[in-house]
Structure 1
Amino acid sequence: MDEETQAGQPGADRVVCAQCETAANGRTAPPTWSCSLEDGVRRYLCDDCARAHIRAIESRLDPDWW
């Protein structure tokens, strides 16, 4: 992935967790964060949220069900 797509949305200054809204340092997500593409929107999950929802992520459940 290039840095332009890492930021999530055009013009975004930082990457934010889609669940808890924790902000990553800088414009790129840390390599330990989870990333998914849902309805054409890139969503990131921080370490803690990804760990808490790992079964739902691996089962490919819609995030609305978490």
Structure 2
Amino acid sequence: MTSPHEGDGDEGSATEPEPPACARCGVRAAGPPPTWTLSVENGVRLHYCERCSRENLRAIEGRLDSQWW
């Protein structure tokens, strides 16, 4: 049995924003908002998945001002 709205072109509508995608590997979040790293680079908000965040932790920390240490 199919839904009455199945295939009617409403996928990705303005009322249902797409889940964020990792700026490094491109994986999309599944389910509720993820606990990913958020970075603002040149005024653009970028999300990084947990795996990419962990793998690049030293590079992320290296960009922090010394006051954060």
Q: Gaps (5+ residues) in structure 2?
A: 1-13, 65-69
TM-score by length of 1: 0.64
* Equivalent residue in structure 2 for 1:25, among 23, 30, 37: 30
Same amino acid, percent of matched pairs: 43
- Does residue 40 of structure 1 match 2:52? no
Q: Gaps (5+ residues) in structure 1?
A: 1-10, 62-66
- Which has more helix, going by share of residues? 1
Let me know the Cα RMSD of the aligned residues.
2.0
> Looking at CA atoms only, which structure, 1 or 2, has the larger radius of gyration?
2
TM-score by length of 2: 0.61
Where relative contact order (Cα < 8 A, 6+ residues apart) is larger, the structure is: 1
| Count of aligned pairs between the two proteins | 49
Shift of 1:25: 1.9
